[in-house]
Amino acid sequence: MYATKKFFLSFYSAYASRRTISILSKTEALCLTNFHIPFRQNIKSFSSKSIAPVQNGAVIFAEVPSGYPEAGKHIKYVKNRTININYVNTQGGIVTKNLVISIDPYMRGRMRPAGTKSYIEAFELNQPLTNFFLGKVVKSDNNKYKVGQIVYGQGAYEEYTVHSKDQAESLHILNDEQLKFGLPLTTWVGAAGMPGQTAFYGFYYIGEPKRGETIFITGASGAVGQIVGQLAKREGLKVIGSAGTDEKVEWLKKELSFDHSFNYNTANVRAELAKFDPLNI
């Protein structure tokens, strides 16, 4: 298992600069482009000795949308929030200064009434949105965590987050071995985060690929699909991909070297796949 993790980190170090891997390329999915979220500050700039309340701006889920979420109506940036880090009750947990946080299309499905059942809970009205994040521990009342450590897991769209003891238990501490790769922090919520892990484990542990096989990836230009395609090329598979626009189709061919790609909105999918029968994955 150690060898697998080492390969995983090495692979994503090589592909960290790929387009759409960075969280910055996903902002249009949630109409958050009008918000300035001051998360990306120098991680050494905070002093835990500060005793005055500090600003804790946040992106709030303000209203359930019926269609496309609108900035300033359904989602609002609120900056008149504060937190006194030294005196906040963590309930045996920690406080993090949030450095980067992912923006993913699945979040639209969480913008629904609280009583609507789904595979994941709805966002809470008048509270910050949440998603995978990377943060620096600035206060700890938990022996597992030390001030200054970088943690990854579920966090909130706010400058500082209080994680209770139970919430902190699910966070992962980035160790020296992981940090020495020198990956941009955004990579840990992209290629080396949830999208990358979904691609890696799905491809190897479910797909069980073999050199010479043919794989078809639908939605291949997305965060998960493009990484699956690169893993497949690395392993010597013939890679077929589909995307929703001609521009994305060309990008799959020219940038990611897919063996064949097509627009699923305009092409006959059955006819395209019949050219490469049999499909193995």
Per the structure, how many domains does the chain have?
Answer: 2
Say whether both 30 and 132 belong to one domain: yes
Distance separating alpha carbons of residues 123 and 138, to the nearest angstrom = 26
The CATH code of the domain that includes 233 is 3.40.50.720
Say whether both 267 and 201 belong to one domain: yes
Whether pTM exceeds 0.85: no
Least confident among 17-26, 50-59, 177-186: 17-26
Long-range contacts of 167-172 (CB under 8 A, 24+ apart): 167/93, 168/93, 168/94, 168/142, 168/144, 169/144, 171/94, 171/145
Radius of gyration, alpha carbons of the chain: 21
Q: Is the peptide bond before 195 cis (omega within 30 degrees of 0)?
A: no
Tokens 């910055």 appear where? Answer: 24
Say whether both 153 and 181 belong to one domain: yes
pLDDT tens per residue across span 116-160: 999 999 999 999 999 999 999 999 999 999 999 999 999 999 999
Say whether both 48 and 121 belong to one domain: yes
Say whether both 173 and 268 belong to one domain: no
Would 216 be classed as within a structural domain?
A: yes
Say whether both 132 and 147 belong to one domain: yes
| Domain region containing 125 | 22-189
Would 156 be classed as within a structural domain?
A: yes
Say whether both 33 and 156 belong to one domain: yes
The CATH code of the domain that includes 147 is 3.90.180.10
Say whether both 39 and 137 belong to one domain: yes
